[in-house]
Structure 1
Amino acid sequence: MLYLCLKYLHIIAAIFLFGFGMGSYLYLIAASRTANPQVIAHVARMVVQFDTWITTPAGFIQIITGLLLIHLTGLGLTTHWVLTSLVIFLCVGSLWLPVLVLQTRLQQMASTAAHTGTALEEGYRDVYRKWFWMGVLGFLGMFVIVLIMVTKMTPWQLVALLAGA
């Protein structure tokens, strides 16, 4: 029963991590495309709050439940698919703090422009580009982790299996 409860929490955390993360990402992209500082400031403030209070805890729940599930099943951390998913998760996680910092910076830049009635400052696009590409890398990593979790194979094992079919 403990295994099933942990697995349920693990999957729910993955849904929150992926769902809220992707939703926040897409909303901030859409807001930034308007070039309207008031819209960007409002959306960015919500994105920072969602990522701080929902997505980040979901990431911690994800890693804790994952490690507990590994322990309960008797799998080793060096099992190929487990190790690969952990390495990718840590890489994606290492992007998280910089993403939060960049989102906060985007929100501050947009708020300043909205309060002063000016256009977004010149550096907004540079900060936005960094944030955007970190998001692309992070979500690619998350897609691969989900693939690994479903198939219990590393990406190269899956490619070899498909190539042999």
Structure 2
Amino acid sequence: MSYLLLKYLHIIAAVFLFGFGMGSYLYLIAANRSRDPRVIAAVARMVVRFDAWITTPAGVLQLLTGYAMVSMAGMPWSADWLRAALLIFVAVGALWLPVLLLQKRLHSLAAHAAESGTALGQAYQRLYRPWLWMGVAGFAGMFLIVLVMVTKQAPWQWF
């Protein structure tokens, strides 16, 4: 596989990570604002599916194509910008599993409330807040990774 094809796939994976990730994140925030368990359950079901079927595989593709490009180009793994990008990627990835688990639980609680005709309880709100803030942190990390990749500089080199 050529370097340019790998780079293309790497960029497409980034677009999918951002696009589907941010889209599903904002969509679930909007559904939550409705306070309607039926709306939240329907949206959360789709968000869980999109994240499992599209966003997560895009993250794996991102890692694989990045590794292949570094290897093919003979770049040193000790480059500050590369180590910074990997560190941030791992940190964002470490947020991803809890986010997926929280989304599944939010869906379950909303679906149960919708089926029983009850309002969302405190358990839902206790899970929603960390999900929201982990998303903020994760997307901040993703923006930072793109900046590192474009500038080929680690954040500590910007000052």
Give me the TM-score of the superposition, normalised by structure 1: 0.95
1:98-137 maps to which residues of 2 (within 5 A)?
Answer: 98-137=98-137
Per the alignment, residue 138 of structure 2 pairs with 138
* Residue 79, structure 1, aligned to residue 79, structure 2: yes
**Aligned AA (2:65):** T
4+ residue runs over 6 A deviation = none
* Residue 32, structure 1, aligned to residue 8, structure 2: no
Per the alignment, residue 163 of structure 1 pairs with none
Deviation per CA, 1:116-140, whole angstroms, max 9, x where unpaired? 0000121111100010011011000
1:39 aligned counterpart, secondary structure: helix
Measure the CA separation in 2 of the matches of 1:50 and 1:78. Answer: 35
Q: CA deviation at 1:72?
A: 1.0
Per the alignment, residue 96 of structure 2 pairs with 96
Per the alignment, residue 147 of structure 1 pairs with 147
Measure the CA separation in 2 of the matches of 1:69 and 1:144. Answer: 20
Measure the CA separation in 2 of the matches of 1:73 and 1:114. Answer: 53
Measure the CA separation in 2 of the matches of 1:78 and 1:105. Answer: 40
Deviation per CA, 1:26-53, whole angstroms, max 9, x where unpaired? 0000000111000000000000000000
Per the alignment, residue 45 of structure 2 pairs with 45
1:124 aligned counterpart, secondary structure: helix
1:123 aligned counterpart, secondary structure: helix
RMSD across aligned C-alpha pairs, in angstroms?
0.8
Measure the CA separation in 2 of the matches of 1:57 and 1:101. Answer: 16
Q: Which has the higher contact order (CA 8 A, sep 6+)?
A: 2
Measure the CA separation in 2 of the matches of 1:126 and 1:76. Answer: 44
Q: CA deviation at 1:156?
A: 2.1
Q: CA deviation at 1:154?
A: 1.1
**Aligned AA (1:73):** A
Measure the CA separation in 1 of the matches of 2:87 and 2:71. Answer: 17
Measure the CA separation in 2 of the matches of 1:121 and 1:33. Answer: 14
Percentage of pairs with the same residue: 62
Q: CA deviation at 1:97?
A: 0.8
How many pairs are equivalent? 159
Give me the TM-score of the superposition, normalised by structure 2: 0.98
**Aligned AA (2:20):** F
Q: CA deviation at 1:79?
A: 0.6
1:3-18 maps to which residues of 2 (within 5 A)?
Answer: 3-18=3-18
Gaps of 5+ in 2: none
**Aligned AA (1:21):** G
